[in-house]
Amino acid sequence: MDDPFELGGRTYSSRLIMGTGGSANLEVMEEALVASGTQLTTVAMRRLGTGHEGSVLDVLKRHGIEVLPNTAGCHTAAEAVLTARLAREALGTDLIKVEVVADDHLLLPDPVELLDAVETLVADGFTVLPYTNDDPILARRLEQAGCAAVMPLAAPIGSALGIRNPHNLSLITEAAQVPVIVDAGIGTASDAALAMELGCSAVMLATPVTRAEKPALMAAAMRDAVSAGRAARLAGRVPRRWHSGLASSPVEGLPTS
């Protein structure tokens, strides 16, 4: 089935965006990225000399995976804007995943700083993908501000708690005219499938794969779960019936009647 994922004027066949954070080493990361089938992968921007820079880009280049820089670690709009501009210059992409977190404990987005950063970056010509709370009204405001997608959390970053509020996520996907990409909080394959069944266009994750006991195996499970969830969404599930009057076998012709 031809079902391309369109994002900011680009087209992808994979609906799984994988992060690179949390891998034990680059070899494990590479194996997981390949197994996931992802075509778009996040990186963070950090000062040189911290000993981590560089080689992650070589891995992505080797496999033709597009880079999606983020503003992870930023706490204010000003920090996020500077980080985004550095990323654009360093990596030659206008894509930016905007993260502005309120503190380093919960890592929850700061909605006021986020919207402020988004407005500046949209005006500056970026293709803006904001990491946001699962708040339908904030999602609407971010879309109105010109974001190319909205990325509501399933649960806090790294928590692996799964989708804590499927109702909110449904409200967001019903209303949005841009892709909704669930981001953060996915724990296992069924969470990713559920996100897609709720109408998300894609799933973004890192921790549940990179910190799994067998990262490449979990990456493949996530790939399949996203595909299955997407197919189920498009197929149109039957309505839930609490007191089913709809037998799946004929009611007439029983030999005992």
Partner 1 sequence: MADESVWVNGTATSGGAGRSVAELVEEVSDRQTGIAVAVNQSVLTRAEWARTILAAGDRVEIVGAVQGG
Enumerate the known binding-site residues for 1-deoxy-D-xylulose 5-phosphate. 158, 184-185, 206-207
Q: Answer for the pair 136, 171: CB distance below 8 angstroms, yes or no.
A: yes
Q: Which two tokens stand for residue 190?
A: 């069924």
Cβ nearer to partner 1, comparing 33 with 172 = 33
Using the minimum distance from each CB to partner 1, give the nearer residue, 17 or 225.
Answer: 17
Can you list the alpha helix ranges (DSSP code H) found in 63-164? 77-91, 111-123, 136-144
Sheet of strand 95-98, all strands in order from the earlier edge strand to the far edge: 95-98, 127-132, 151-152
Residues that constitute the known binding site: 158, 184-185, 206-207
Q: Reduced to 3 states, what is the DSSP secondary structure of residue 198?
A: coil
Q: Which is nearer to partner 1, 46 or 167 (CB)?
A: 46
Q: How far is the CB of 121 from partner 1 (least distance, A)?
A: 13
CB of 112 to partner 1, least distance (A): 21
Smallest gap from Cβ 140 to partner 1, in A, equals 24
Give the binding site for partner 1 (CB under 8 A). Answer: 19-23, 26, 29, 42-50, 52-54, 56-57, 67-70, 72, 82-83, 85-91, 97, 99, 206
**Contact at 8 Å (CB) between 209 and 218?**
yes
Minimum distance, C-beta of residue 135 to partner 1, in the bound complex (Å): 21
Tokens of 192: 């990713």
**Which residue among 40, 68, 84, 97 is the active-site one?**
97
Please give the radius of gyration of the chain, using alpha carbons only, rounded to the nearest integer: 20
- Strands 181-183, 16-19: pairing is unpaired
- Toward partner 1, which CB reaches closer, 56 or 194? 56
Residue 61 bears catalytic tag? no
| Residues annotated catalytic, as ranges | 97
